Amino acid sequence: MSENIHHNGIIEKIDGTTVYVRIIQRSACSGCHARNMCGVSESKEKIIEVQDYSGKFHLNEEVQICGTTSLGMQAVLLAFVLPLILVFATIAIGTSMQWKETTSGLTGLFLLVPYYCLLYLSRDLLKKKFVFTLKKLN
């Protein structure tokens, strides 16, 4: 597995030192020759904010966004693994306290609301941790 993740994109907007890059995120099978017949492949456009202090990038320029694989793993951990553990732990604790199954399950699901709210409120801190860099394409 490579140490870096690369996505090609186009600069949509530059606001001071923040560069907004539009990338197209494709599913793993989007490169398949049968993708039009299959219906499984999909792609989504996303806007990524990248801090750039060099000032060498321009609007509508094609660039490459680079990030480390470990950042991707940390993002998966925060977005999917920890919430799953939270739900299962709540269900296990509720079951050990002899709650009804529905009460345990719903409590586990409702705890996701404050978890994701906390994640949203800490987005500025996470932006400092999840740093991407830009490269010019030749």
Q: Which domain holds residue 78?
A: 4-136
pLDDT value for 46: 86
The residues of the chain scoring below 70 in pLDDT are 1-2, 26-43
Global pTM exceeds 0.75: no
pLDDT value for 32: 63
pLDDT value for 7: 87
pLDDT value for 99: 95
pLDDT value for 4: 83
Q: How many domains does the chain have?
A: 1
CA distance 102 to 129: 38
pLDDT value for 127: 85
Which residues make Cβ contacts (< 8 Å) with residue 95, sequence separation at least 6? 101, 104
